[in-house]
């Protein structure tokens, strides 16, 4: 079925989403899935345990906990994470403690619409313990001049120009005993669909989780891998007249579906139905994600330095 779709797409240039449409369709899509809540739960537990581990250092004046969110988008994931980390810091403070921010949270994303929303929403959080910088930068353009206690890359590595190079930069900038966490989808049934369209937008193959794992193994970087199973409700995609369904459809194919011919849209829906679970009136597509954790130890640093030294 996908072979036919790929053939039909050969002579078509699917139109990438505008910044506004990407931001809108991303938020809607995540709302239809139970994946983001699981990612958030995972990151909350992980971040809290990292802060607990550093509690004594952070209690002393001047010590900060640095977080980098790569491809933060509008902060729909970051804001609740920031709130949790801030609550953790604030609950451990005495009345007399200095109230300077102890968490420096940096979000980078090239989408100005999303960055603007992130900054505005953060102002409503009203937290004293977090200093936020949201920068309209890509992983490639950002000046990685500070080491991070926690760097997370949630569903943004697909968009990196050269994932291997950016990965090395990110690892080199993780502080001793800090972590780089990457959430990357497998090339499962849903993403095979996205990949058909994506290939028209980029010149190099997109990295899915198996590509990342292979790269980490080949370059000798230690990591752990686990998986979150999830599903996304795609029911509305099958209703042509539903604007919300068009948002889900657009995000799945990462393209403006209004610009696609009726046969191409039909092929997408046929594939979507064939991979989905039907529950009464609802249609759910599988939406798993893999989690990679790279812990910064001396060994990792030495290996990464050696590779830099050996590279041509």
Ligand X SMILES: C[S@@+](CC[C@H](N)C(=O)[O-])C[C@H]1O[C@@H](n2cnc3c(N)ncnc32)[C@H](O)[C@@H]1O
Question: Distance (Å, rounded) from C-alpha 150 to C-alpha 46?
Answer: 10
- What is the closest distance, in whole angstroms, from the C-beta atom of residue 61 to ligand X in the complex? 32
Smallest CA-to-CA distance from 286 within 271, 299, 296 is with 271
Q: For residues 212 and 164, give the distance between their C-alpha atoms in angstroms, rounded to a whole number.
A: 9
Site string for ligand X, 2-41 (x = CB under 6 A): ------------------------x---------------
Torsion over CA: 22, 24, 29, 34 (sign): positive
Question: Smaller CB distance to ligand X: residue 111 or 191?
Answer: 111
Q: Which residues are bridge partners to 227 per DSSP? A: 290
Q: What 8-state DSSP symbol labels residue 28? A: H
Query: What is the dihedral angle through the alpha carbons of 245, 250, 256, 262, rounded to the nearest 10 degrees?
Result: -60
Instruction: Mark residues 74-113: x for contact with ligand X by CB under 6 A, - for none.
Output: --xx------------------------------xxxx--
Closest to ligand X by CB, 89 vs 206, is: 206
Q: Is 207 in the site for ligand X (CB under 6 A)?
A: no
Binding to ligand X by residue 194, rule CB under 6 A?
no
CA neighbours closer than 13 Å in the CB half-sphere of residue 187 = 13
Q: Which of 70, 85, 212, 272 binds ligand X (CB under 6 A)?
A: 70
* CB of residue 258 to ligand X, shortest distance in Å: 20
* 47 part of the interface to ligand X, by CB under 6 A: no
Note whether 190 binds ligand X by CB under 6 A: no
Residue 239: which residues within 8 A CB-CB, separation 6 or more?
245
Nearer to ligand X, 71 or 245 (CB): 71
Instruction: Give first-to-last CA distance, the chain, whole Å.
Output: 43
Query: Residue from 28, 65, 118, 160 that binds ligand X (CB under 6 A)?
Result: 160
Rank residues 111 and 304 by Cβ distance to ligand X and give the closer one: 111
∠ CA 289-292-293, nearest 5°, is 140
Q: In angstroms, what is the minimal distance from the CB of 109 to ligand X?
A: 5
φ and ψ at 80, to 5 degrees?
Answer: -65, -30
Rounded-to-integer distance, Cα 262 and Cα 248, Å: 17
Question: Mask of contacts with ligand X, 122-151, x by CB under 6 A?
Answer: ----------------xxx-----------
Residue 7's nearest CA partner among 263, 259, 270, 275 is: 263
Q: Based on CB atoms, which residue is closest to ligand X, 8 or 38?
A: 38
Helix (H) / strand (E) element for 84: namely: helix 78-91
* Closest to 8 (Cα-Cα) out of 266, 258, 264: 264
Q: Is 234 in the site for ligand X (CB under 6 A)?
A: no
Select 102 or 234, whichever has its Cβ closest to ligand X. Answer: 234
Query: Which residue lies nearer to ligand X by CB, 139 or 237?
Result: 139
Instruction: Please count the helices (runs of H) and the strands (runs of E) in the chain.
Output: 12, 10
The stretch near ligand X (CB under 6 A) out of 56-64, 65-73, 220-228, 276-284 is 65-73
Tell the smallest beta-carbon distance from residue 83 to ligand X (Å): 15
List of residues contacting ligand X (CB under 6 A): 26, 70-73, 76-77, 108-111, 114, 138-140, 154-156, 159-160
């Amino acid at each position: 079925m996908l072979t036919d779709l790929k053939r039909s797409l050969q002579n078509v240039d699917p139109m990438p989403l505008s910044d506004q449409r990407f931001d809108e369709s991303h938020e809607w899509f995540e709302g239809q899935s139970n994946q983001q809540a699981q990612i958030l739960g995972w990151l909350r537990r992980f971040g809290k345990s990292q802060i607990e581990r550093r509690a004594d250092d952070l209690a002393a004046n001047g010590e900060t906990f640095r977080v980098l969110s790569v491809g933060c988008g509008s902060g729909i994931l970051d804001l609740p994470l920031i709130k949790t980390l801030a609550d953790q810091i604030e609950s451990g403070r005495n009345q007399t403690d200095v109230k300077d921010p102890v968490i420096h949270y940096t979000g980078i994303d090239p989408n100005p619409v999303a960055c603007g929303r992130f900054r505005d929403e953060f102002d409503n959080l009203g937290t004293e313990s977090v200093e936020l910088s949201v920068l309209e930068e890509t992983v490639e353009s950002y000046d990685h001049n500070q080491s991070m206690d926690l760097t997370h890359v949630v569903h943004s590595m697909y968009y990196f120009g050269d994932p291997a190079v950016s990965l090395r930069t990110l690892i080199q900038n993780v502080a001793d005993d800090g972590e780089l966490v990457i959430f990357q989808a497998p090339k499962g049934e849903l993403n095979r669909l996205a990949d058909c369209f994506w290939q028209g937008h980029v010149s190099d193959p997109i990295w899915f989780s198996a590509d990342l794992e292979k790269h980490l193994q080949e370059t000798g970087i230690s990591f752990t891998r686990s998986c979150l199973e999830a599903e996304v409700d795609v029911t509305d995609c099958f209703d042509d007249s539903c604007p919300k369904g068009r948002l889900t459809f657009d995000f799945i194919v990462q393209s403006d579906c209004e610009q696609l011919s009726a046969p191409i849209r039909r092929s997408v829906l046929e594939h979507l139905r064939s991979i989905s679970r039907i529950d009464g009136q609802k249609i759910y597509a599988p939406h798993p994600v893999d989690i990679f954790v790279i812990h910064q130890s001396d060994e990792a640093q030495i290996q990464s330095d050696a590779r830099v030294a050996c590279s041509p």
